[in-house]
Amino acid sequence: MTTPAKIIDQNLPTVALVGRVNVGKSSLFNRIIEERHALVSDIPGTTRTRNMGIASWRGKNFRLIDTGGLTFTDDVPLEDDIVQQTALAISEADVIIFVTDIQEGILPQERELSRILLQKVKDKPILLVANKADNLSFYPAVHDREWRKLGLGEPVPVSAANGSNVGDLLDIIYKKLARGSRRPKVIKEILPIKVAIMGRPNVGKSSLFNKLIGEERVIVSDMPHTTREPHDTLVEVDHQPILFIDTAGIRRKNKVSGELEKIGIGKSIATVNKSDIVLLVLDATEPITDQDQQLAGLLREHTRSVIMVINKWDQAEDNSDNFRNKVKADIYTAFPHLNFAPIVFTSAKTGYRVHQIFLLIKQAWEGRQVVVDDGRLKEFLKQTIRRHLPTRGKGVRHPRIISLTQLATNPPVFDIVIKANTSLHLSYVHFIENRLREEFGFFGCPIVMKLSKLKRHTAPPKL
Residue 3 lies in a domain: no
- Is residue 215 domain-shared with residue 264, that is, in the same domain? yes
Residue 157: name the closest of 136, 127, 130 by CA: 130
Nearest to 23, CA basis, from 121, 109, 81, 152 = 109
Task: Express each pLDDT in 410-456 by its tens digit.
Answer: 999 999 999 888 888 999 999 999 999 999 989 999 999 999 987 65
Query: What is the pLDDT at residue 343?
Result: 97
Q: CB of 352 within 8 A of CB of 314?
A: yes
Structure confidence at residue 165 as a pLDDT band (50, 70, 90): very high
Say yes or no to pLDDT of 46 above 70.
no
In the chain, the amino acid numbered 235 is V
The verdict on 218 and 309 lying in the same domain is: yes
This model's pTM is above 0.85? no
38 and 169: one domain?
yes
In this prediction, what percent of the chain has a pLDDT beyond 70? Answer: 85
pLDDT surpassing 80 at residue 42: no
- Quick one: how far is CA 444 from the chain centroid? 19
pLDDT of residue 395: 65
What CATH number has the domain bearing residue 413?
A: 3.30.300.20
The model's pLDDT over 93-141, given as tens digits with 9 standing for 90+, comes to 999 999 999 999 999 889 988 998 898 888 899 999 999 999 999 999 8
- pLDDT at position 41 is 45
**pLDDT reading at 9 higher than 70:** yes
Q: What is the CATH number of the domain that holds 212?
A: 3.40.50.300
Same domain, 244 and 312: yes
Q: Which of 145, 178, 211 is the last residue of a domain?
A: 178
Same domain, 395 and 300: no
Chain segment 356-405, per-residue pLDDT in tens: 999 999 999 999 999 999 999 999 999 999 999 988 777 667 788 999 99
pLDDT of residue 462: 55
Print the domain residue range for 398: 374-453
Are residues 447 and 356 part of one domain? no
Last residue of one domain, picked from the residues 129, 146, 178: 178
| Count of structural domains within the chain | 3
* Average pLDDT value for residue range 244-265: 62
The answer on 228 and 88 residing in a single domain is no
Calculate the average pLDDT of the chain: 86
Q: At what angle do helices 258-274 and 290-301 cross, to 10 degrees?
A: 40
pLDDT at 261: 46
